[in-house]
Structure 1
């Protein structure tokens, strides 16, 4: 029935668990029969414990189910498996909540065994999945339902639930728990926190790709999901918004226009700032799949309203997403730039090509075929557009009253006091609650603020103290925990006062606050700032406005204004997205981004400068070679003297960067290359920096003339070849081989040179000089690592030079090193001569060298020599007597040394 080893260990395990039964039964009968008897007894014992009147014994039975199932699976007995699952079904209907919870804890183990076992697999869809559905819908214990929802989420993450059960029973049940009036039993009340958890699990199943049936998602999921976006509990709306971008990616442009955009417009005006913040996080994913006209006419003004949002957290996330949102307006036909294989390239004058254009057209047609399912809730566009227009007009009037003070404070940092967001009314959460007890069940995070919805439209909320905000709450994703549930209903948590991380987080205040702050400024300074900003806006608006709405560009430029230079997070986000913004605006608009780029290059945070360093090669392609020489090379010079992290960012794409510069700038950059060898004491340990430098120099050899390479790059290569780290020396050997190849290719004029001639050419000054340096500094060095590096270079030259060139330049020194005292050097000699050269002049010497290495006392050297000679490895007997003798001699030498040193 199964193997002897498994049978023995299994019988011993069962026997040790029941010593009395083992002593009486294990001595007689067949092995399989004994194991069957032992397992049968375990199953009966489990059933007996499940029928017990004591809750503790039934709990123990719930915990023992997984262990008994392992025994049954080992025996592969369907009858016993059926009996065990009957017990499981009985325990799932137990009246004690603790018994059901104990059984749920083992649900993942049971489903995992069912997926791996052919005997247990039929019970997953017939017993376990219906058990989960029954537990979710019929139980009266909140803790059981809560645990069941959590277990379903865990099972979804582990992909243990069968797809059929998932689509037909599990997800529909979770959907039913997400709505207030849907439980099957009228007396069953679903708490709001359980509704939130159910909705979160359903949404996660879609975003994580667990549900693979695209048609089911469109026809069965989307209609119900649309009502979650308008749910009364804001945490449900927040969880639903989080996957809206994934759905747009899944169904394309038509779905985005007809479904996602109306909901986005509605949710951008949501009363709860947490929902608006969630919209900001998926706004770019939605905008990607919108047509350009809709993105420009509707989404751009909508995003500007989020940038001016009354909640600092919403506007903060909006400013983080500003750069990516601007990049969605990229149009290669206007900017002349396009992305290919992750690199910015110039758009071909003849367009993308027929194949690429046809592929894009087919993809768009495929996405437009989708028909929206019936039963979807979609907000009315006309009403939203009208209210949005009125809201934007009111905001513009308010900005005129405040001047530019609001915009400055949005970048200047976090204020000491913050806006007060009161409990909302109307269609909000509080309107659905009838008492403080109902409000405590909504599942709001402890200390979380509510958005302001005043009874009068012109009223402005007063800001609370900074203690009302706590970073762990406002920067974390919402999850339900017992500690959080215990704090429901409280107005505030006395959290510790947080230090100001950035000045950007000080969002727009009311008119009185702004006036109080502005009184600190002199009138002359205000007038100068307003004139400067107006002049900048006129310059921007004077350009072609076809690519990006001007207001978005203005917001992006002000992100790193003088008032917010210390806003570390914002500056880092701006530096990260600046290449995408420059790519979108094109070369003509670089003059508007130049000051921003220069300011970021001088930021006090090295992480900001690292972002610029890593993307500088892309900026060179975007702005063009002439502009790069005047505007970007000075920034390069400053960053080149920066910390190693910044210099490493420049070095990562150094060859690509220099390639985009004009010839005059390339020559000036060539003389700056030795500066990358300068390192402090800590930098000397950063060998990966030197390794990357060698790789970039290898690419730079194609950009410079032979004379330039000989003056600068050759010397750097010889320096890197003496590095302490072997990986750096190996890469340097490839670089030296490449340089030698270029020199020989340049100076080896006589193509008809005979193979019998082994004299070095007298009219090859660069080649002869470089080879002399190699021989003197490496082949004849007293350090074995340098001799080994020379041989590594020769090994690389085998692929670059002809036999005639290699033989006349390097072969003599290579064969001389076959007598080296270090085995590692002799090993590389054998590899460098594999396969042997066929030239008549060098053939005899090479064969004699390999024959000598074939009998080398080092096993690896002799093996490599035999490979070079083509000798079979499995038919030769290796004499290890000499090896034993040398080991004995070494031991005797050590003993004699010890005796001499002993007193």
Structure 2
């Protein structure tokens, strides 16, 4: 070819130099790096100087590749002599802003090449510590965000790969990080940087060098520094020893839990699980639990919300023996990990708590109680220059002139007014009597008010009063026939939701209590600040009476009872701001809490689990559905069969988003319940084939796969009746091929389970022959061919049964060898070649019929069919 001689390297491309064309960059870089191997043309030092002095920016970017080639190809004597000057020149690369980030990203590759050739060139052993590491450290905290992030990433990578020794880290890395801490008003990300490196530096360096500075940061006069320090507590708890933890970290953490700024207390609530993981049991109960109880009753709404979100994980740390430990995920973030290696990650809330609190934080100090807005004078002194570590809205100072020319300020005030934060009341709000959360607010009759004016308010202005009815004149019928129309599941739902009916009616600023004669009725809480979640936990640390029924069950001493009461109260916060999100966290953490308490204390949480299972929000029901199997493992077979099975049946008829939680663990759950209860489920699983969306084919695929695993859990008769004749045929007819393939595996397992008595599967075999082998649609006939292949592959039927006239499988398969559809003939050819002629029984008894098909396929008009049988013939 004439084009084969065209060179791929272009020495002069003037039209592309200004545009930095992609093609030229690759060509120039490749050519320039390869020329470095020719030591007769230029020595290494001259090549480095030529690269740095080039006017072509693309060539200057080849510096890292050129240096690696020099380490690899240059003779030892020459490289040893010129290496100090080469590295001295390279350390000045950071003076060129254009090359800084590019060169930093290549430093790990340069370090790897230096170590790889250090045996050949002794001088390369000191390149990392003497030259490369100082370049990286010098760029930490750089004003350019891209360079700063690149330096952090490179330093982490070098330490993870072992390029930096412990001595180098202590002498060169730690002083640089501590120096950044002295400029916190300019670079607050240094706190996060120090915490990220602590796991790489090790316990000894962390305790000797970094711990003292961290304790100082926790007592900084800047509130946002204390908040960042509180967020990083988990990293230090995971690395330091028990003595340092008990003498330094724990007292410091408890002090931050009492901080004047609510943002600091909120950060403490978010990291409580990591602090508790390494805390001794006695200190956890005597110090941590009371401190966290105060956070649950904090005067700030957002602190209480964060405390409720982490309450389940905190309770899980009380398990004895411990069932969780601190670990790092693939990205280097702290997570809780159980003994099986699964991560416990708190689900995020969608209400944007963090964004809301930063707005509040920028406008006022929540620690004040005088009702006026206050400025943060220290906010204007320092600001974070890195968005990833601290939102600029948290640290951005507000102009004292307060001169906002747009409507954003008005919208902010409106949103701020809607928050109704603690310490700020509105004129229409209800007062709290004596600060007691359990006192009742009674309506006062004011005779001096005009009746018309009293009725004229936003709630009842358009309200038309109904005619009064005499209840004595009403006859209530209680026919047994009418009651029989209500099934058991509907009764459970009615009872569940009846407990959530309101016990008072709000009229403006007044409240009228409803007379409730229901058994176990819930008394209304006196605190009328539902909008700011005061009623999640009462002031005395006990569960609010307006959010949960009286808990009945054995007394436990594993976890402080007020924590359990607070956790269970989160299950019934419907209708309150963020109430559903609290219930989501409760449902998500429920298996961990039950695992901590143990099965003997299941009565304490049983009613709460039922309430969550019939919650109006599908997100909460989905969490409960997904946790049924873990709960069954924890509680055992008897409790799972008695208490969890009704929930399982209800979830089968729920939304697809909820049912998928049950479906993914269908086999595991059925395996855990008793055989009697399991047999009762066989006829109820068909409801899973009824989907809310016809496009949700993966749901049916999962259903078929789970049924395949469940085949051996049921008796052969139930397998043939339900899985074989009821569920499998509908799955075999699906339009999506993946569903049909999963159904084919299911049918083969059904036949294998019932092959001892072919009378059980006679109905299924007749259906397969009539509807599929002789079907009018080619897709049905192809499914039958694939099914025959799968049956032979899995040995679901013996060769004698497969070829018998009773099953008719072989005769139907050979009849389909004449099918006009190419894919069907191809499937028959593959089945014969791979599974029939390789079996001694078929060769001995049906060789003539099989050979005839193969000879006919050898002359088939389709090449794929001919190629499929060529080896066999």
* TM-score, L = length of structure 2: 0.67
User: Relative to 1, partners in 2 of residues 1:553 and 1:303: Cα closer, same or farther, differing over 3 Å?
Assistant: same
Q: Distance in 1 between matches of 2:626 and 2:260?
A: 40
Give 1:597 shift: 2.8
Q: Distance in 1 between matches of 2:254 and 2:391?
A: 32
User: Relative to 1, partners in 2 of residues 1:792 and 1:113: Cα closer, same or farther, differing over 3 Å?
Assistant: same
Give 1:577 shift: 1.3
Q: Distance in 1 between matches of 2:6 and 2:176?
A: 41
Q: Distance in 2 between matches of 1:278 and 1:781?
A: 66
Residue by residue over 1:542-593, the C-alpha shift from the partner in whole angstroms, topping out at 9 and shown as x without a partner, is 6222222110111112213356566232122122112222333334444443
Alignment of 1:495-894 (within 5 A): 497=411, 509=423, 515=431, 518=441, 520=509, 522=511, 528-529=523-524, 540=551, 543-562=554-573, 567-623=579-635, 628=640, 631-680=643-692, 683-714=693-724, 715-745=726-756, 747=757, 764-798=758-792, 799=794, 800-808=796-804, 809=807, 810-833=809-832, 834-835=834-835, 836-839=838-841, 840-853=844-857, 856-866=860-870, 869=872
| 8 Å contact from structure 2 (residues 523, 545) kept in 1 | no
User: Relative to 1, partners in 2 of residues 1:702 and 1:550: Cα closer, same or farther, differing over 3 Å?
Assistant: same
Give 1:861 shift: 3.8
| 8 Å contact from structure 2 (residues 51, 63) kept in 1 | no
Q: Distance in 2 between matches of 1:705 and 1:850?
A: 41
Q: Distance in 2 between matches of 1:533 and 1:488?
A: 39
Residue by residue over 1:667-700, the C-alpha shift from the partner in whole angstroms, topping out at 9 and shown as x without a partner, is 44323222222234xx111110110111121122
Q: Distance in 2 between matches of 1:574 and 1:506?
A: 25
Q: Distance in 2 between matches of 1:621 and 1:659?
A: 10
User: Relative to 1, partners in 2 of residues 1:603 and 1:252: Cα closer, same or farther, differing over 3 Å?
Assistant: farther
Q: Distance in 2 between matches of 1:533 and 1:251?
A: 39
Q: Distance in 1 between matches of 2:417 and 2:703?
A: 38
Residue by residue over 1:606-654, the C-alpha shift from the partner in whole angstroms, topping out at 9 and shown as x without a partner, is 2222212212233344455565556544444443333221122222112
| 8 Å contact from structure 1 (residues 601, 608) kept in 2 | yes
| 8 Å contact from structure 2 (residues 108, 157) kept in 1 | no
What is residue 178 of structure 2 aligned with on the other side? Answer: 176
Q: Distance in 2 between matches of 1:282 and 1:260?
A: 13
User: Relative to 1, partners in 2 of residues 1:765 and 1:249: Cα closer, same or farther, differing over 3 Å?
Assistant: same
- Is residue 319 of structure 2 the alignment partner of residue 320 of structure 1? no
What is residue 487 of structure 1 aligned with on the other side? Answer: 397
| 8 Å contact from structure 1 (residues 100, 144) kept in 2 | no
What is residue 487 of structure 2 aligned with on the other side? Answer: none
User: Relative to 1, partners in 2 of residues 1:500 and 1:713: Cα closer, same or farther, differing over 3 Å?
Assistant: farther
SS at match of 1:679: coil
What is residue 245 of structure 1 aligned with on the other side? Answer: 234
What is residue 280 of structure 1 aligned with on the other side? Answer: 269
Alignment of 1:81-96 (within 5 A): 85-90=87-92
Residue by residue over 1:445-477, the C-alpha shift from the partner in whole angstroms, topping out at 9 and shown as x without a partner, is 9953675667xxxxx453769xxxxxxx99x98
| 8 Å contact from structure 1 (residues 788, 828) kept in 2 | yes
Q: Distance in 1 between matches of 2:731 and 2:291?
A: 55
SS at match of 2:840: coil
| 8 Å contact from structure 2 (residues 361, 394) kept in 1 | no
Q: Distance in 2 between matches of 1:601 and 1:500?
A: 37
Give 1:821 shift: 2.6
Give 1:292 shift: 2.8
User: Relative to 1, partners in 2 of residues 1:854 and 1:565: Cα closer, same or farther, differing over 3 Å?
Assistant: farther
SS at match of 1:555: helix
Alignment of 1:279-428 (within 5 A): 279-331=268-320
Q: Distance in 2 between matches of 1:175 and 1:814?
A: 75
| 8 Å contact from structure 1 (residues 414, 507) kept in 2 | no
SS at match of 1:193: coil
User: Relative to 1, partners in 2 of residues 1:46 and 1:794: Cα closer, same or farther, differing over 3 Å?
Assistant: closer
| 8 Å contact from structure 1 (residues 781, 787) kept in 2 | yes
Any stretches of 5+ residues in structure 1 without a counterpart? 50-59, 93-98, 137-141, 181-189, 340-359, 361-412, 420-443, 455-459, 466-472, 748-763, 872-903
Give 1:112 shift: 4.8
Q: Paired residues, what number?
A: 693
Alignment of 1:214-225 (within 5 A): 215-225=204-214
Moved more, 712-721 or 786-795: 786-795
- Whose relative contact order is higher, 1 or 2, with alpha carbons under 8 Å and at least 6 apart? 1
User: Relative to 1, partners in 2 of residues 1:446 and 1:222: Cα closer, same or farther, differing over 3 Å?
Assistant: same
Give 1:127 shift: 3.2
SS at match of 1:554: helix
Q: Distance in 2 between matches of 1:784 and 1:332?
A: 61
What is residue 890 of structure 1 aligned with on the other side? Answer: none
| 8 Å contact from structure 2 (residues 218, 229) kept in 1 | yes
| 8 Å contact from structure 1 (residues 625, 660) kept in 2 | yes
User: Relative to 1, partners in 2 of residues 1:307 and 1:535: Cα closer, same or farther, differing over 3 Å?
Assistant: closer
Q: Distance in 2 between matches of 1:179 and 1:689?
A: 53
- Is residue 454 of structure 2 the alignment partner of residue 462 of structure 1? no
* TM-score, L = length of structure 1: 0.65
SS at match of 1:728: helix
| 8 Å contact from structure 1 (residues 502, 568) kept in 2 | no
Q: Distance in 2 between matches of 1:270 and 1:491?
A: 30
Moved more, 288-297 or 491-500: 491-500
User: Relative to 1, partners in 2 of residues 1:575 and 1:88: Cα closer, same or farther, differing over 3 Å?
Assistant: same
What is residue 334 of structure 2 aligned with on the other side? Answer: none
**Aligned-residue CA RMSD in angstroms?**
5.1
Q: Distance in 1 between matches of 2:737 and 2:399?
A: 64
User: Relative to 1, partners in 2 of residues 1:502 and 1:168: Cα closer, same or farther, differing over 3 Å?
Assistant: same
User: Relative to 1, partners in 2 of residues 1:36 and 1:639: Cα closer, same or farther, differing over 3 Å?
Assistant: same
What is residue 111 of structure 1 aligned with on the other side? Answer: 107
User: Relative to 1, partners in 2 of residues 1:686 and 1:16: Cα closer, same or farther, differing over 3 Å?
Assistant: closer
Give 1:816 shift: 2.8
Residue by residue over 1:247-296, the C-alpha shift from the partner in whole angstroms, topping out at 9 and shown as x without a partner, is 43445766654554333222222233233222222211222233333322
Q: Distance in 1 between matches of 2:6 and 2:63?
A: 16
| 8 Å contact from structure 2 (residues 61, 99) kept in 1 | no
Q: Distance in 2 between matches of 1:791 and 1:317?
A: 58
User: Relative to 1, partners in 2 of residues 1:481 and 1:82: Cα closer, same or farther, differing over 3 Å?
Assistant: farther
Q: Distance in 1 between matches of 2:48 and 2:352?
A: 66
Any stretches of 5+ residues in structure 2 without a counterpart? 19-23, 118-123, 325-338, 340-350, 375-382, 434-440, 443-508, 516-521, 527-542
SS at match of 2:318: coil
| 8 Å contact from structure 1 (residues 610, 646) kept in 2 | yes
| 8 Å contact from structure 2 (residues 170, 205) kept in 1 | no
| 8 Å contact from structure 2 (residues 365, 373) kept in 1 | no
SS at match of 1:321: helix
